[in-house]
Structure 1
Amino acid sequence: MSDAASKNWYVLHTYSGYENKVKENLESRAQSMGMEDYIFRTAVPEEEETEVKNGKTKTEMKKTFPGYVLVEMVMSDESWFVVRNTPGVTGFVGSHGSGSKPAPLLPEEVDHILNDLGVNKVANTDFEEGETVTIKDGAFANMSGKITEVDQEHSKLKVDVDMFGRMTSAEVDFDSVEK
C-alpha cells in the first residue's frame, strides 16, 4: 500500500481524439493489473461549449487540451510501465527521454485545471453546518463566517459573513477557507 503523500498528477500525451479511450483503457488496466494502489483518477480536460447553428442550440464538450489526459498516480517503475504502455498513450509530458520519470504537475496547476473541470482534488472535507471558518481569498478574504451549507460533490461551502452589519451569503471552495 502506498502513502498518499507520494500521489501526484501527471500529464500524458495521447493521440488526438483518443483522450476518452485512453482514460477508459487506463482505468481498466489499473484494475486488471492490480495497480489500484498506484493509479487513482484520470481526467480529460474539457469544457462545455454552446453553439447556435441554423437556429438550433447545440452544447458539446470540447477538449481544453486536445491530445492530453491527466492521471493521478504514485510513480513507481511498475505504475510508470503500465501507464506508459497503455494503448493510445504516446508518453508522459515532462519526461526527458526513455526511462526517465516525468515531473508531476504543481499543486496550483492541478487545482486550477480540476476546478475548471469541476473535479476538485480532495481538500479538507470535514466541514459541518454551523461551524465558523475564515475565508482566505477572494472578495471576502480575511472575513469569518458560519457555514450554512456543505456541497461535498462540488467541494463548495455557503458561508454567511457579516458585511456592513448585514448577513451576506458567500459561496467558496473548500480550499479557500480555514477553520
Structure 2
Amino acid sequence: MDTLQWYVLKVISKQEEKIKSSLQVELLKEGLQHRVGEVFIPYEKVYEIRAGKKTIKNRNKCPGYIFLQADLSNSLFLLMQLLRRIRGILGFLGVEGWKATDAPLPLSQVEVDRFIGKASESDPVDVKLATIFMVGEVVEIIDGPFVGFSGEIEEIFEEKKTLNVVVKIFDERSTPVELRYTQVKKLL
C-alpha cells in the first residue's frame, strides 16, 4: 500500500458520483480494493441565492474528472480492464484512449495538495459565492436593516467576503454600507 499514487480519470460530466459508486462496487467484486486507496471527487461549497433565500450547495470543482489513489506498479493491466468495463469512464488523463502499455502519470504532490488536500472534510469550510459581483453593479439588499433598498457596489473585499454598497436613503442622501455577500442579490 505504500506505492499508492494519485491519478485522474476522465469521466462523463455530471455522472461522477454514479461512476464513483460503480467503480467501488466493481473493485470489491474483483478483489482489487487493496490496489486502490481512495476514489475522490473534489467539491467546494458555494452560496446560492434563489427566490431571496440563501442556500449552501456543493459544486464539483473538476467536472468530468475523478481522482483515484491507486497502486499501478503490479496491476496496471487488471485495473485497466476493470476501468474499461465501467460505463462512463473514458480513460486516464494524459493517456490517449485505453492503451494498456501506456501507464498514466501520477499527480505531483503540489497538485494533490491543491485538489485533494484542501478539500478534506477536516479543513475549515471556505465558502465561495456562486454569483460574482463587480464594482458599479446595482444590487438589492435582502438581509439586515436596509432590506428592500438597492444600491451600487463601490468596493469589493474578497478576503472578508463583503461589499461596500452605496445606498440612497430618503432619495437624496448616499450612505455607504458594508454588507456580506449573502445580504445582497443582483438586480437583473
TM-score higher than 0.5 here? yes
Q: Where do 1:121-132 residues align within 5 Å? A: none
Matched, 1:57 2:54: yes
Distance in 2 (alpha carbons) for counterparts of 1:8 and 1:115 = 14
Aligned to 1:77: 77
Secondary structure of the residue aligned to 2:106 is coil
Q: Where do 1:23-38 residues align within 5 Å? A: 23-38=20-35
Structure 1 residues 51, 155: CA separation in 2 closer, same or farther (over 3 Å shift)?
Answer: closer
* TM-aligned CA deviation for residue 11 of structure 1: 0.3
Give the fraction of aligned pairs with identical amino acids, expressed as a percent: 25
Secondary structure of the residue aligned to 1:37 is helix
Match for 2:13 among 6, 12, 16? 16
* TM-aligned CA deviation for residue 155 of structure 1: 7.6
Secondary structure of the residue aligned to 1:61 is strand
Aligned to 2:120: 118
Which stretches of structure 1, 4 residues or longer, exceed 2 Å deviation after superposition? 96-99
Match for 1:7 among 4, 9, 27? 4
Aligned to 2:36: 39
Tell me which moved more, 27-36 or 73-82.
73-82
Residues 27-70 of structure 1 show CA distances to partners (whole Å, capped at 9, x for unaligned) of 11111110011122101111111111221112211111110000
What amino acid is aligned across from residue 69 of structure 1 in structure 2?
I
Secondary structure of the residue aligned to 1:117 is coil
Distance in 2 (alpha carbons) for counterparts of 1:16 and 1:114 = 19
* TM-aligned CA deviation for residue 85 of structure 1: 2.7
Structure 1 residues 117, 84: CA separation in 2 closer, same or farther (over 3 Å shift)?
Answer: farther
Matched, 1:95 2:95: yes
Aligned to 1:122: none
Secondary structure of the residue aligned to 2:8 is strand
Stretches of structure 2 that go unaligned for 5 or more consecutive residues are 125-188
Distance in 2 (alpha carbons) for counterparts of 1:24 and 1:14 = 13
Tell me which moved more, 50-59 or 62-71.
50-59
Structure 1 residues 103, 87: CA separation in 2 closer, same or farther (over 3 Å shift)?
Answer: same
Aligned residues: 119
Stretches of structure 1 that go unaligned for 5 or more consecutive residues are 120-153, 157-179
Distance in 2 (alpha carbons) for counterparts of 1:105 and 1:14 = 17
* TM-aligned CA deviation for residue 109 of structure 1: 0.8
Distance in 2 (alpha carbons) for counterparts of 1:96 and 1:14 = 14
What amino acid is aligned across from residue 90 of structure 1 in structure 2?
L
Aligned to 2:110: 108
